[in-house]
Structure 1
Amino acid sequence: MASQGTNNIFMRYVLAIVIAIIFTPKLSFAKQSKLIGLKMNMIDECWRPNPEWRRHRQQLATCSVGYVGKMTNNIGKDLIHYKVTDPNDDPINPEPGTLRYGASVIQGKVWITFQRDMQIRLMKSLLISSFTTIDGRGVNVHITDNACLMIFKATDIIIHSIRIHNCKAQAPGMVMGPNGKVISLGQVDGDAIRLVTASKIWIDHNTLYESEDGLLDVTRGSTNVTISNNWFREQDKVMLLGHDDGYVRDKNMKVTVVYNHFGPNCNQRMPRIRHGYAHVANNLYLGWVQYAIGGSMGPSLKSEANLFIAPNVGSKEVTWRKDGYKNVDKWEFYSVRDAFENGASFVVTKGGRVPKPNYSKEQGFKVVDVKSVRSLTKSSGAFKCSKTSIC
């Protein structure tokens, strides 16, 4: 009887904790996550434990880390809430209710959500306006089977919880531009997401795969970008940072790549860097064929607390450097607290200094021990949460 009484007391104690977690708003989200035993990275811990996140979607904008900083320019009293109700697409005269109308026509701070699960087949690349958030949480949204996303001469953009795949090259043509006016757009290669002269861009919790060219390109002077919590899979060329070897403006490029899941069946470019700097931290690499991280034109990289699992067949070496360049000695590729499994290896730059991210206070985050990478990347990719369940 004494044992039964003790069990009853314990169960009441547990119930009291659960009630406090759900109904006490003063309890910090970090404490909530610890109480219910969730293992989350710093970004997810900022908003996911909140059971009322659907009523407070804009909280997400305060959760970003890395070079993008905080996305507070995307929220405020003048925020426009826009809901996609129509999966159809007209690249020149988009109808209200379509994704293109919200992302390209409406100007100002726009927070886009979706009425229901959708498969959207874009007729031409979607050019996203500055200060736009595309938020797919709570529904299952696919952008697939034709044109995909482009961020062209725009700033302060969030793309969150979207499945983007089977993207195809596009011939030149007319399309609604990011300023709400029709423009002429040249040949597009078939990337899932391409950044062109863009800044302060946050790509978080998306699932990207099987596209004709690459999954994510950061090009032509784009900078202050954070790529986090995404799942990249089934792809030859995954991520390109820097337009081409001759585009020296990309020397100013700064990109944070954190909490992502690479694989299965990724070949190369996770990422490939030209000219600029990348901080690659706490990512999970499930093999590669040619290489995981590479580049040319004297790029700088700090690889920190990533888990590299080499493929059973193919190259075990993580890195690749393009040969035949006079500036080969200017390479700065450093591995700090990384872990290597199945024979993986990392050729580092000898001597010199490890380049630091030099984050500001609002950009900074703690890189955790590599032993936690599997758990911190477990939720990578677009969420499967419904309108009623937690994410």
Structure 2
Amino acid sequence: MVSQGTNFVLWHFILAIVIVIFFTPKLSYAKQSKLMGLKMNMIDNCWRKNPEWRRYRQQLATCSVGYVGKMINNIGNDLIYYKVTDPNDDPITPKPGTLRYGASVIQGKVWITFQKDMNIKLMKPLLISSFTTIDGRGVNVHIANNACLMIFKATNIIIHSIRIHHCKAQAPGMVMGPNGKVIHLGLVDGDAIRLVTASKIWIDHNTLYKCEDGLLDVTRGSTDITISNNWFREQDKVMLLGHDDGYVRDNNMKVTVVYNHFGPNCNQRMPRIRHGYAHVANNLYLGWMQYAIGGSMGPSLKSEGNLFIAPKVGSKEVTWRKIGNTSGDKWEFHSVRDAFENGASFVVTKGGRVPKPNYSKEQGFKVADVKYVKSLTRSSGAFQCSRAFIC
């Protein structure tokens, strides 16, 4: 005869086994990551360790750092959930289920996901409305082979885990605008993502390559931008911060460039900055042809904790300054705790102060030691996800 005490002990033993079976994968994920040699950066660490991230996608909005701050304006009880089911595109009268309908027609807080893997060929640039999140996690989404993305006079936008490539210049024409109304759009260069008079924009974990013009332009008074965890490769002109030498409004531009992977086969502009300020931290530079970081019109830049691996042949110098720049004495290019391999070198501004980012509490983050950069950028670019394992 089995006593009640024995039953009690047995029941607790069985319960313990059930808990181990069902919850050990969640509890051991951090250990699995260490075994894989993966040291997550603080953005990824904020959401990737949650094995239920698909159920709590909006957690991502609390994970951003740098000048964009936290993206809490993109979430809330009034959030509209929209799923892209149709890869086709109509630039003037987009149909429900298409990406353009969710990104341009629907107004308010919109969180866009994708039903399945998709190759989307945009007929005209996609103008994204304010308070929109495009979340490609869990599927492989390509926007390629024609028009690509534009953020025009909009704010509070997240673009996450999309592959954007082979973007082509576009002739002037009519297109659905970011306010849900058809507008006339002028000539557009073949950029992967172009920001025009935009603010509070977070571009995270995208893969961008092989576009006619550049991969990412931040222009015409755009500010409060964070560019993180992206993989930029196979491109001549990579990233432009500041419209042109004469556009002095870009003096107020503030951009954080962090945890990105540049290369292979990138030539220049990682970034090229005019007028404004950029904090470039914990990025991996896998070679360049002309230069990695450059600019004109007296920009300010703090390069901190980056790993610069110079190409075997060609330029070893990281920086470039426009010849004949009348603001040459106002340059503020500083290198702090960077590492240089294969003969790479960095010409800094002499005798000047190192410009600080002056982040607010919600923007601030700790720049890691450069020895961790390869681990911190190992997952850069759009994710390869599976149902069996977390991104």
Q: Scaled by the length of structure 1, what TM-score is found?
A: 0.93
Q: In structure 2, what is the Cα distance between the partners aligned to 1:114 and 1:385?
A: 13
Q: In structure 2, what is the Cα distance between the partners aligned to 1:97 and 1:265?
A: 37
**What is the aligned partner in structure 2 of residue 200 from structure 1?**
200
> Is the Cα–Cα contact under 8 Å of residues 38 and 375 in structure 2 kept in the other structure?
no
Q: How many residues align?
A: 375
**What is the aligned partner in structure 1 of residue 341 from structure 2?**
341
1:351 and 2:351 equivalent?
yes
Consecutive unaligned residues of structure 1, counting only runs of 5 or more, are 1-12
TM-fit CA distance, 1:16 = 8.3
> Is the Cα–Cα contact under 8 Å of residues 154 and 198 in structure 1 kept in the other structure?
yes
> Is the Cα–Cα contact under 8 Å of residues 134 and 159 in structure 1 kept in the other structure?
yes
Q: Scaled by the length of structure 2, what TM-score is found?
A: 0.93
**Secondary structure at 1:250 match in 2:** helix
How big is the alpha-carbon RMSD for the aligned residues of Structure 1 and Structure 2? 2.0
1:364 and 2:385 equivalent?
no
**What is the aligned partner in structure 1 of residue 63 from structure 2?**
63
**What is the aligned partner in structure 2 of residue 386 from structure 1?**
386
**Secondary structure at 2:143 match in 1:** strand
> Is the Cα–Cα contact under 8 Å of residues 92 and 176 in structure 2 kept in the other structure?
yes
> Is the Cα–Cα contact under 8 Å of residues 37 and 375 in structure 2 kept in the other structure?
no
> Is the Cα–Cα contact under 8 Å of residues 260 and 380 in structure 1 kept in the other structure?
yes
The one-letter code sitting in structure 2 at the alignment partner of 1:136 is G
**What is the aligned partner in structure 1 of residue 285 from structure 2?**
285
TM-fit CA distance, 1:350 = 0.1
Consecutive unaligned residues of structure 2, counting only runs of 5 or more, are 1-15
TM-fit CA distance, 1:313 = 1.1
Q: In structure 2, what is the Cα distance between the partners aligned to 1:34 and 1:108?
A: 40
Over 3 Å counting, the alpha-carbon distance change for 1:53 and 1:301 in structure 2 is: same
TM-fit CA distance, 1:388 = 4.1
Q: In structure 1, what is the Cα distance between the partners aligned to 2:228 and 2:24?
A: 27
Q: In structure 2, what is the Cα distance between the partners aligned to 1:291 and 1:144?
A: 27
TM-fit CA distance, 1:356 = 0.1
**What is the aligned partner in structure 2 of residue 88 from structure 1?**
88
Once the two structures are superposed, the pairs formed by residues 101-112 of structure 1 within 5 Å of their partners are: 101-112=101-112
Once the two structures are superposed, the pairs formed by residues 109-124 of structure 1 within 5 Å of their partners are: 109-124=109-124
Q: In structure 2, what is the Cα distance between the partners aligned to 1:47 and 1:146?
A: 33
TM-fit CA distance, 1:315 = 0.5
Q: In structure 2, what is the Cα distance between the partners aligned to 1:218 and 1:23?
A: 39
**What is the aligned partner in structure 2 of residue 98 from structure 1?**
98
Q: In structure 2, what is the Cα distance between the partners aligned to 1:21 and 1:245?
A: 57
**Secondary structure at 2:184 match in 1:** strand
Q: In structure 2, what is the Cα distance between the partners aligned to 1:252 and 1:152?
A: 18
For residues 3-55 of structure 1, the C-alpha deviation after alignment (integer angstroms, 9 at most, x for no partner) is xxxxxxxxxx9x9889656457xx9x989966997410000000001000000
For residues 135-172 of structure 1, the C-alpha deviation after alignment (integer angstroms, 9 at most, x for no partner) is 00000000000000000000000000000000000000
User: Which of structure 1's runs of 4+ aligned residues deviate more than 3 A?
Assistant: 15-24, 29-38
Identity among equivalent positions (%) equals: 86
TM-fit CA distance, 1:326 = 1.8
**What is the aligned partner in structure 2 of residue 250 from structure 1?**
250
Tell which structure's C-alpha radius of gyration is larger.
Answer: 2
**Secondary structure at 1:326 match in 2:** coil
Once the two structures are superposed, the pairs formed by residues 203-282 of structure 1 within 5 Å of their partners are: 203-282=203-282
Q: In structure 2, what is the Cα distance between the partners aligned to 1:37 and 1:284?
A: 17
Over 3 Å counting, the alpha-carbon distance change for 1:345 and 1:16 in structure 2 is: farther
**Secondary structure at 1:54 match in 2:** coil
For residues 74-103 of structure 1, the C-alpha deviation after alignment (integer angstroms, 9 at most, x for no partner) is 000000000000000000000000000000
Q: In structure 1, what is the Cα distance between the partners aligned to 2:31 and 2:60?
A: 18
**Secondary structure at 1:190 match in 2:** coil
Q: In structure 1, what is the Cα distance between the partners aligned to 2:36 and 2:272?
A: 39
**Secondary structure at 2:211 match in 1:** coil
Over 3 Å counting, the alpha-carbon distance change for 1:30 and 1:244 in structure 2 is: farther
**What is the aligned partner in structure 2 of residue 4 from structure 1?**
none
Over 3 Å counting, the alpha-carbon distance change for 1:62 and 1:362 in structure 2 is: same
